[in-house]
A and B are shown apart, each in its own frame.
Chain A
Amino acid sequence: MSLELLDIHKSFGQVRANDGVSLTIEAGTLHGLLGENGAGKSTLMKILSGFISADSGRIVLDGAPLRLSSPRDGIRAGIGMLHQDPLLFLPFSVLDNFLLGGGGGLRVDRDAGRRALEETAGRFGFAFDADAPARSLTVGERQQLEIVRLLWLGARVLILDEPTTGISATQRTTLFEVLRSLAAEGMIVAFVSHKLEEVEELCDRVTVMRKGRVVGESEMPAPAERLVEMMFGRVLAESEPTPPPFGEPVLEVGGVTLRERTLTTSELTLSVREGEIVGLAGLEGSGQRMLLRAAAGLLPPMSGRVRVRGRDLTGRGYREFLHAGIHYLPAGRLEEGLVRGLTVAEHVLLARGEMDFFIDGAAAREDARAAIADYAIVGAPESTAESLSGGNQQRLLLAMTPLDVRLLLMEHPTRGLDIESADWVWTRLLERRDTGTAIVFASADLDELLRYSDRIVVFFSGRALKVLEARETTGEELGHLIGGRELV
């Protein structure tokens, strides 16, 4: 038995999330799907589970083509999807959650269900209190319940999307054992992750995705540097002309610990001076975003101090950070940067802190035209933010960044942009750097990190593993550190 995905295409607006993905998963092998966030893994898995429909392409299970237009079709075909956050109904009991989505008519046979739950759970050494509310389960236990439920529903294919997020080490070990035994029984098991070490530990075979395409496949074990290279692309060493000397410190982070959801960072210390560019490297969710948000005043630290241009702003509000000269450009351009439904002209107006009470429509259009010309935005003053392509949204966000900003904090400045747009964005950023603006940016693109940073801070699960002088490091070293290991 095998599961084949043939030439899957899926676009969201301008973004090609899946661009001709073909993939075969054989029964009996634990198959890993590896790639950075945004590589298109989740989209592919959602297509496979019937959650969204592909624009084109075919899915063949055991020689028979599948038509999946809803999650129900996916379950009927025997495809079980374990979501990152198990979709339980928290106030319901464990048993009711188990029975939800099961077949049968109006009558729910709780006694038979209870026996089935105990029997299926027993196979894997899980034990549940059937009458406890699902709320009382840990994330790991919720996962176990979901796996048991999917198997009981007759899943022949089990897909796990980043299943180790938020579960304990013991639960992870148990989960991996269960997955191995399921694969050994001849099930098709796909393990989706951006964590290299987990794929190395668990999988027999791995497919690597990048930017919506399959970029390589390999039997495991495989050399880590090869996988890193596939994930992030070939790193070209290039030298740039020496930038102007650095000035006064703009950002001083001293012994700061941060907590968001399940991740708590160790003490982070970093000083950034005028005209300096610091890249934050690491797998997504290793603490880079938290540091950026702390520097922007959006995430108050649990301990330590944050100073901006010599002023201690620890615990102060975001607006005081703004006044001190910071500017934060988050990764979610339409979610946290722009406003859906408002036009380019309205955005340009909003970005200006001071404006008259009455809006001068003609002047606003003029300003918008100037911004459009200056930042080469493809769009009109009347275009809405969501009608712009990703690259043009980023250009608009840059146009909205005041010129007197002293510290630019950016997440993935060029994610989803074509090479031309990405180069253009960095040209503009370097212009600002030359006037003394400091830039701190997080990126998953090793090339970008090495090319533009003066220093690179490598994060690994909440720790600043190492600070590298960008000029003295290599892509290989960086790739290893991102995976959590020193190069020996």
Chain B
Amino acid sequence: MTAPSWLSRVATIVLPIALAFAVALVLLQLAGAPPFEALGLLWDGSVGSAAKMSDTLAAWVPLTLAAAGLVVTFAAGLWNIGVEGQIVAGAVAATWVAREVPGPAAVLIFAMLVAGVVGGALWALLAGLLKTRGGVNEIFGGLGLDFVASGLAIYLIIGPWKREGVASTSGTDLFRPEAWMPTVGVAQFPVIPIALTVVAVVLVYVLMRGTRFGLRLKAVGKNPRSAHLLGIPTERYTLAAFLLCGGLAGLAGAILVSGVFHKLVPSVSGGYGFLGILVVLLAGYRAAWIAPIAFFFAAIAVGSTQLSLRLDLDSSLGGVLQGVLVLFVILLGGWRARRTRRRTALMEPEGP
């Protein structure tokens, strides 16, 4: 390789973003909207003001937490599609604490976060055991558990935890104020969740870069047979990866109910888990890259609501942009792999 690796790393991120924006501009033109004005609105709607910045950060937190967890499961060679359900499980557990546990705000919020971590981790452990003991591929097990978790949340909302007098899918009653995540300033910056997220990302980074656990996990993920023969207890490491990812996803769920909705709503995760998978793919499975990429995704998601308000466009444009972006990244990666393969094939010696 001639270019320094960080340069090619940056290129693999910047080039697809440029291509994705080009596609978005064409789409906007086709939809009859002024493309550059739309992009301007996207900017204003995401980072243009303190309030918008706060909204973007509120979306960045769960997305980054889920992505940080997914870095661990991807390292273990697992497609933890169940991350979405693990967020919901964390939200449900935190809601239970908010409803049942007395006490002042500090105690209550701490208990909610711990409950979220435990709920998400247990939900992930279920997917893990289904894989290691039941032989169920984690993609199908996780997908199934996603539906179960979402069903459980809806059942609780219209059943046992229904609002006084009316059962409605708009959510439970609001939590009492002690269970609301405190914020800072008029723009309501979610400072505690941001701090927790930063800690989580650093933790995952250190874990994967500089520890025995991370190294063995990578070995299990890249070649379970060799890892087993080296004497690594592969099942234990697989389950540990699930527990870690589920814990972080559950934390995201707890933060969503405590800091964003202040109640349990049916679609509490709203796709942060699935979006987290895209973030990790774009980051090339590295913890160091997920924070900025997740921020970019969060900004697009929050900013695109402006498009519908001001230009009468559908806000799903943001989703289209994200999807196109990931497609370009994967396409570029595949194309590069093909090219290097062809080149090495050509360099091989031709006989003696």
Which chain A residues have a beta carbon within 8 Å of chain B's beta carbons? 7, 9, 11, 13, 16, 19-20, 55-56, 298, 318-319, 322, 328, 330, 335-342, 346, 349-351, 353, 355-359, 361, 400
Contacts and interface: CB of A to CB of B under 8 A. Distances in A.
A322 B229 CA distance: 9
30 contacts: A16-B351, A19-B351, A55-B348, A55-B351, A56-B350, A298-B229, A319-B231, A330-B229, A336-B226, A336-B229, A337-B229, A338-B226, A339-B218, A339-B219, A339-B223, A340-B222, A341-B218, A341-B222, A342-B215, A342-B222, A346-B219, A349-B215, A350-B215, A350-B216, A351-B230, A355-B212, A358-B212, A359-B210, A359-B215, A361-B210
Chain A interface, >50% SS class: mixed
Given A55-B351, A350-B230, 16 more contacts: A55-B350, A318-B228, A336-B225, A336-B229, A339-B218, A339-B222, A340-B222, A341-B222, A342-B218, A346-B215, A349-B212, A350-B215, A353-B231, A357-B211, A357-B213, A361-B210
Nearest to B216: A350
A181 B215 CA distance: 59
A349 B210 CA distance: 12
Interface in B273-322: none
A293 B349 CA distance: 36
A459 B184 CA distance: 77
B351 A20 contact: yes
B231 A359 contact: no
A250 to B, nearest CB: 19
B32 interface: no
Nearest to A333: B226
A342 B211 contact: no
Given A11-B348, A55-B350, A342-B219, A359 B230 contact: no
Given A19-B351, A356-B212, A340 B223 contact: yes
B212 A322 contact: no
Interface residues of B, number: 24
Given A55-B348, A336-B226, A351-B230, A358 B219 contact: no
B39 interface: no
Nearest to B224: A339
Contacts of B222: 339-342
B104 interface: no
Contacts of B349: 11
A373 B61 CA distance: 48
B27 interface: no
Contacts of A55: 348, 350-351
Contacts of B210: 358-359, 361
Contacts of A335: 223, 225-226
A354 B217 CA distance: 15
Contacts of A346: 215, 218-219
Contact of B226 (A337, A353, A359, A361): A337
Interface string B198-242: 000000000000111101101100110111111111000000000
Contacts of A337: 226, 229
Interface in B316-352: 348-352
Contacts of A20: 351-352
Interface string B49-75: 000000000000000000000000000
A123 B222 CA distance: 50
A9 B218 contact: no
Contacts of A56: 350-351
Contacts of B211: 357-359
Nearest to B232: A350
A358 B213 CA distance: 9
Interface centre among A19, A338, A339 (most CB of B within 10 A): A339
Contacts of A298: 229
Contacts of A328: 229
Given A9-B351, A318-B228, A359 B223 contact: no
A384 to B, nearest CB: 10
Contacts of B352: 19-20
Contacts of B223: 335, 338-340
Contacts of B350: 9, 55-56
